[in-house]
């Protein structure tokens, strides 16, 4: 009897141990999700606006004094000189050049014996760069000694609701031009309420230029090498809006000094 009871107690003990033994379990390893690189958000105070454009471009111009640049077009290289007495426009050109804004941009308007214009936010790359700079216009720096002679570089602008003649931040043009007579110059003086200096009048009587838009746009530089490229840009077939039928573009712009 005692022996039977002893074996019963041993059996109960063994069953209890089996029930308390932890069971081995298998868990699936959690694979961490790939982190997406957050898009850089540019604080609004870092962007240039119409309110801070003078301050920001003045500061940038002092830190970036370059005045000579090479513009590589699909028709050849043009070397330009930026004027120091139009400091806001000079600084703006240097800023956009260093940001790579002009690289790959198209000539959007060309006119024989007038000008070739480029710039403008026409593709996604330019639009993305513009987001890091800001959207603004530049106060006019129109000076009688800086006029639309052959090879001049000037800023495009809107003629709508723009009495101060502020320049577009990104569009500019090379002047090819034509000659003018005294009668024609008198006509433009009256129409534009503008007075040509003696030097301007003498120039336009003997050399090509774009006298009819003097006083309307800021001229901030000039071509010093490679002017022969300009007629290759302007003497092409265009649509009714002066857009070239075959794309012409700026390959790159490089600051020299």
Q: Report the percentage of the chain scoring pLDDT > 90.
A: 81
| Separation CA 94–CA 191 (nearest Å) | 34
CATH superfamily of 42-255: Cyclophilin-like (2.40.100.10)
Which helix (H) or strand (E) covers residue 90, if one does? helix 87-98
- Per the listing, tokens 């746009």 go with 217
Confidence of residue 208 (pLDDT cuts 50, 70, 90): very high
Domain coordinates in residue numbering, the chain: 42-255
Read off the pLDDT of residues 111-132 as tens digits, 9 standing for 90 and up: 999 999 999 888 899 999 999 9
Read off the pLDDT of residues 215-225 as tens digits, 9 standing for 90 and up: 999 999 999 99
Assign 3-state DSSP to the chain and report helix, strand, coil percentages, each to 5: 35, 20, 45
Contact criterion met (CB below 8 Å) for 80 and 152? no
Read off the pLDDT of residues 51-80 as tens digits, 9 standing for 90 and up: 999 999 999 999 999 999 999 999 999 999
Listed as own residue / partner, the contacts of 96-99 with beta carbons closer than 8 Å and 24 or more positions apart are 96/133, 96/169, 96/170, 97/69, 97/253, 97/254, 97/255, 98/64, 98/255, 99/129, 99/132, 99/133
| Range with the largest mean pLDDT of 15-29, 111-125, 156-170 | 156-170
The pLDDT of 85-99, averaged and rounded, is: 98
Confidence of residue 2 (pLDDT cuts 50, 70, 90): very low
Buried/exposed code over 146-162 (b: 16+ C-beta within 10 A; e: otherwise): bbbbbbbbbbbbeeeee
| Residues contacting residue 12 through CB under 8 Å, at least 6 positions apart | none
């Amino acid at each position: 009897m005692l022996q039977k009871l002893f074996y019963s107690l041993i059996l109960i003990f063994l069953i209890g141990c089996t029930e308390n033994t932890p069971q081995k379990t298998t868990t699936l390893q959690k694979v961490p999700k790939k982190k997406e690189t957050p898009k850089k958000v540019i604080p609004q105070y870092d962007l240039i606006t119409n309110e801070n454009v003078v301050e920001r471009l003045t500061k940038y111009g002092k830190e970036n004094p370059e005045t000579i640049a090479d513009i590589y077009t699909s028709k050849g290289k043009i070397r330009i000189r930026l004027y120091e007495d139009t400091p806001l426009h000079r600084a703006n050109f240097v800023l956009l050049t260093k940001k790579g804004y002009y690289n790959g941009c198209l000539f959007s308007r060309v006119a024989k014996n007038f000008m070739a214009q480029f710039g403008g936010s026409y593709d996604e790359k330019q639009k993305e760069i513009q987001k890091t700079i800001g959207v603004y216009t530049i106060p006019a720096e129109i000076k009688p000694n800086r006029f639309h002679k052959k090879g001049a570089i000037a800023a495009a602008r809107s003629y709508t609701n723009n009495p101060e003649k502020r320049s577009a931040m990104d569009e500019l043009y090379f002047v090819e031009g034509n000659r003018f007579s005294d009668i024609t110059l008198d006509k433009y003086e009256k129409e534009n309420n503008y007075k040509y200096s003696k030097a301007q009048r003498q120039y336009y009587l003997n050399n090509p230029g774009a006298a009819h838009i003097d006083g309307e746009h800021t001229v901030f530089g000039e071509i010093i090498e490679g002017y022969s490229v300009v007629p290759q840009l302007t003497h092409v077939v265009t649509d009714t809006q002066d857009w070239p039928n075959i794309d012409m573009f700026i390959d790159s712009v490089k600051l020299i000094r």
